Amino acid sequence: MIKNFINLPIFKRVIPSIIKKLNIKDFNYNYKNIIFNLDLRYFVDRRFYLYGWDDDLINFLNHFIKEKKCDFFLDIGSCWGIYSLQIAKGNPLIKVFSFDVFEKNIKRLEYMAKINNMSNIETFNVAIGCSKKIETFSVNEHYSPNFSKDLNGKYKINVQQDLIDNLINIYNKRIAIKMDVERAEFEAIKGSKNLLKNNECLIIIETEPNSNAINLLCSIGYKIIENKLDTADIILSNYK
């Protein structure tokens, strides 16, 4: 298997290029007893297949969810479900809400949930912000699932934006959240204030330590419990 050679220095750059050129768009990969249907034309899929993706954070979340008996997991900026599928598999009683702007990501996540017999994932093809309107998102590469609204890239899509507080009404529950929204964290947090105030939440957010998003979270009672400098992920919580 070509993957077995990836850790050899001579092959580290060559193998991803070879895989990309093979143009493999329908590849079932069994990882941690989950069938991932990968499109290896995409960088995210190739990296996940060759190296894994955020295993430490996903293991942390699974442990936290079990310890705190969380009721919900919100995957805000879910891509095609690397987090959502593993959290849903590891915690069959939890309800997973997955949000992404790219319809193909959502369709792929729904398909993988189906072939893995997961009934605890609900998907939303929507952008998360602090106002309800149509937003334009873009990427620069054709095979990229990571659309952003501040990029002005070559490939554009128009997406309905909405607030978490409009989409989900949850009170007095225990929630874990992963947020990766390509530099739109402040708007996403601003549109989620009711949920964040009215529940016990742990949130992993990809942003700068002194960003407006972090300052807003701290202003409503959240405390930083870990700053993972190696990944730019910050973990905050308001758990009592």
Over residues 9-24, the pLDDT tens digits come to 555 566 777 777 778 8
Grade residue 193 by pLDDT with cuts at 50, 70 and 90.
very high
- Asked if residue 133 has pLDDT above 90, the reply is yes
Report CA 199 to chain centroid distance, whole Å: 20
The whole-angstrom separation of Cα 94 and Cα 142 is 35
The whole-angstrom separation of Cα 118 and Cα 110 is 9
Assess contact for 128 and 164: CB atoms under 8 A: yes
- For residue 231, the model assigns a pLDDT of 58
Assess contact for 56 and 82: CB atoms under 8 A: no
CA–CA distances in Å: residue 7 to residues 22, 49, 66, 187: 20, 13, 33, 40
User: Can you read off the two tokens belonging to residue 56?
Assistant: 């430490």
Assess contact for 175 and 162: CB atoms under 8 A: no
The whole-angstrom separation of Cα 183 and Cα 150 is 8
The whole-angstrom separation of Cα 89 and Cα 63 is 13
> Which residues lie below 8 Å from residue 187, measured CB to CB, with a gap of 6+?
128, 129, 130, 131
The residue type found at 232 is A
Counting Cα atoms < 13 Å in the Cβ hemisphere of 178 gives 27
- For residue 19, the model assigns a pLDDT of 77
Q: Which of 22, 164, 37, 33 is nearest to 90 (CA)?
A: 33
Choice among 143-152, 158-167, 179-188, 214-223 with the minimum mean pLDDT: 143-152
Grade residue 8 by pLDDT with cuts at 50, 70 and 90.
low
The DSSP result for 204-219, as a single string, is: EEES-TTSHHHHHHHH
The residue type found at 41 is R
The neighbouring-strand residues paired with 236 are: 203, 224
The residue type found at 164 is I
Q: Each residue of 68-85: pLDDT tens digit? A: 999 999 999 999 999 999
